[in-house]
Amino acid sequence: AAPLDPVALRADFPILGEQVNGHRLVYLDSAATSQKPTAVLDAERAFLTHANSAVHRGAHTLAAEATDLFEDARAAVAGFVGAAPQQLVWTSGATMGLNLVAYAIGNASVGRGAPASARLALAPGDEIVTTAIEHHANLIPWQELAARTGAVLRHIPARDDGTLDLDAAATLISPRTRIVAFTHVSNVLGIVNPVAELIALAQQVGAVTVMDACQSAPHLPLDLPGLGVDLAVFSAHKMVGPYGVGGLYGRTDVLEALPPFLTGGSMITTVTLDSAEYLPPPQRFEAGTQPVGPAIGFAAAVRYLDAVGLENIHAHEGMLAARMAEGLRDIPGIRLLGDAAGVERVGLWSFDVDGVHAHDAGQLLDARGIAVRVGHHCAAPLHSRYGITASVRASAALYNTVDDVDEFLDAVRGIRPYFGVE
């Protein structure tokens, strides 16, 4: 593919033409949610206009057409992460995917599921290992699972530079470890974590691996089966796709061993008043009416990303991130979080402005039409680790330009002078 031309791509994202507070919109909040190209908006609208119908039911023509489009979408999204269609479960997003896994393992732990489910069951004293840099979505479901099962939660610490301490991981991950859950890329630090090493450590002790791919799937080429991870989640809305839909990838044998989380229609074979038999994956995990329109929009999103090329996206965003970091390091009073040397990154930086609250900094940027995220970004423990409660995060995507970064840097230079901080 040709190198990425963000100016040409911007024409595909109508919202980028908006004015905000009298300025052109500089959207640097794609790690929270990405903007959506016309191709995605059109795909959902075309489906709803011409083929809308409930899938996997009904004998009528539209139902069959909708089912084909829905299953084509599954194949497209599965293929985007290197997987087979049966390995891709539709969820409402990454949070739901992680909760699905944690609740399903909880069900296995009380003896529910097929005989194969026993291998996933947790008993008191078993250990769940996660990291100190997780988004709350990959932390609290494990806290809850530990509380329900008597398992013990342990955390791989991060070093001051934001990298995970693999030596500590090698000690923490022991024969008592049953689950290792970690993020591929932190939504605060932007560092690509050594996930192959974590998976290898987990595999040595037979633990199940769960990866949060929210912040990697939009930015890096992924081959989840090749990586060897057991389960992984991502959200369409961060991948230029719609809200309300996401993917849970699973290794076939792991998905087959996992009992259901939500139950009801669309996930059963036979039902009596007293019991039910469940469909195999992925339908076993898709109780209720499926998110057909969003899934079709999601497929259009991954086709869009593929057409631009994930290598191109990664290179472009890496260039923007490097420019951001160079500029930010030169501004007095700015402390970058996770400014580790020699690591692979995606295009986001979080930083603290000495003497200015993140929310005030964010407001000043907003007055110039620059959209960034402020707060703890759903990673409060990580902020505590750095002795702060909030930071400013700028996150780039394929449609951001060097001009976006330069306008942002110029505005950041003005923050401390504006608030009269020396």
What is the nearest approach in angstroms of ligand PMP to the Cβ of residue 94?
4
What is the nearest approach in angstroms of ligand PMP to the Cβ of residue 115?
32
Residue 44 interacts with ligand PMP (CB under 6 A): yes or no? no
The smaller minimum CB distance to ligand PMP, of residues 137 and 201, is found at 137
The smaller minimum CB distance to ligand PMP, of residues 23 and 136, is found at 136
What is the nearest approach in angstroms of ligand PMP to the Cβ of residue 288?
18
DSSP H or E run through 419: none
The smaller minimum CB distance to ligand PMP, of residues 94 and 412, is found at 94
What is the nearest approach in angstroms of ligand PMP to the Cβ of residue 101?
13
Task: Annotate each residue in 362-391 with x if it binds ligand PMP (CB under 6 A) or - if it does not, as one string.
Answer: ----------------x-------------
Give the residue from 167, 129, 189 showing the smallest Cα distance to 340.
189
What are the residue ranges of helices labelled H in 280-353? 292-308, 310-329
DSSP H or E run through 360: helix 358-367
Tell me the window of 66-74, 80-88, 89-97, 351-359 that interacts with ligand PMP (CB under 6 A): 89-97
Contacting ligand PMP within 138-167 (CB under 6 A)? 138
Residue 29 interacts with ligand PMP (CB under 6 A): yes or no? no
Per the CB < 8 A criterion, the answer to whether 182 and 130 are in contact is yes
How many residues at the interface with ligand PMP, by CB under 6 A?
14
Q: Which of 43, 214, 299, 328 binds ligand PMP (CB under 6 A)?
A: 214
Angle (CA) 120-126-128 rounded to 5° is 80
Residue 244 interacts with ligand PMP (CB under 6 A): yes or no? no
Residue 95 interacts with ligand PMP (CB under 6 A): yes or no? yes
CA–CA separation, 145 vs 374, rounded Å? 30
Burial class from Cβ neighbours inside 10 Å (0-12, 13-18, 19+) for residue 312 reads: middle
The smaller minimum CB distance to ligand PMP, of residues 51 and 129, is found at 129
What is the nearest approach in angstroms of ligand PMP to the Cβ of residue 102?
13
Per the CB < 8 A criterion, the answer to whether 377 and 350 are in contact is yes
Contacting ligand PMP within 184-213 (CB under 6 A)? 187, 212
| Greatest extent of the chain over all pairs of C-alpha atoms, in Å | 73
214 is catalytic: no
Write b or e for each residue in 175-202: b if 16 or more Cβ atoms lie within 10 A of its Cβ, otherwise e.
eebbbbbbbbbbbbbbbbbbbeebbebb
The smaller minimum CB distance to ligand PMP, of residues 187 and 283, is found at 187
What is the nearest approach in angstroms of ligand PMP to the Cβ of residue 183?
5
Residue 229 interacts with ligand PMP (CB under 6 A): yes or no? no
Contacting ligand PMP within 117-136 (CB under 6 A)? 135
Residue 100 interacts with ligand PMP (CB under 6 A): yes or no? no
3-state helix, strand, coil in the chain (%, to 5): 45, 20, 40
**What is the SS3 assignment for 194?**
coil
CA–CA separation, 186 vs 264, rounded Å? 35
> How many alpha carbons lie under 13 Å from residue 87 in its C-beta half-sphere?
23
- List, in order, residues 6 or more apart from 78 with CB less than 8 Å away: 84, 85, 87, 88, 247, 249
**Among 32, 41, 340, 378, which one carries the catalytic annotation?**
378
Kind of pairing, strands 177-183 and 334-336?
A: unpaired
Residue 10 interacts with ligand PMP (CB under 6 A): yes or no? no
Per the CB < 8 A criterion, the answer to whether 263 and 312 are in contact is no
Residue 137 interacts with ligand PMP (CB under 6 A): yes or no? yes
**What is the SS3 assignment for 354?**
coil
* Torsion of the alpha carbons at 223, 227, 228 and 230, rounded to the nearest 10: -70
The smaller minimum CB distance to ligand PMP, of residues 6 and 246, is found at 246
The smaller minimum CB distance to ligand PMP, of residues 136 and 323, is found at 136
Residue 337 interacts with ligand PMP (CB under 6 A): yes or no? no
**CB 45: neighbour CB atoms within 10 A?**
12
Q: Which of 35, 131, 183, 193 binds ligand PMP (CB under 6 A)?
A: 183
Instruction: Kindly report each contact of residues 320-323 with a partner whose C-beta sits within 8 Å and lies 24 or more positions away, as own/partner.
Output: 320/347, 320/396, 320/400, 320/402, 320/404, 320/405, 321/190, 321/345, 321/346, 321/347, 321/348, 321/349, 321/396, 323/402, 323/405, 323/406
What is the nearest approach in angstroms of ligand PMP to the Cβ of residue 174?
26
What is the nearest approach in angstroms of ligand PMP to the Cβ of residue 243?
8
Residue 254 interacts with ligand PMP (CB under 6 A): yes or no? no
The smaller minimum CB distance to ligand PMP, of residues 145 and 364, is found at 145
- Residues serving a catalytic function are 378
* Residue numbers at the binding site for ligand PMP (CB under 6 A): 93-95, 135, 137-138, 183, 187, 212, 214-215, 235, 237, 378
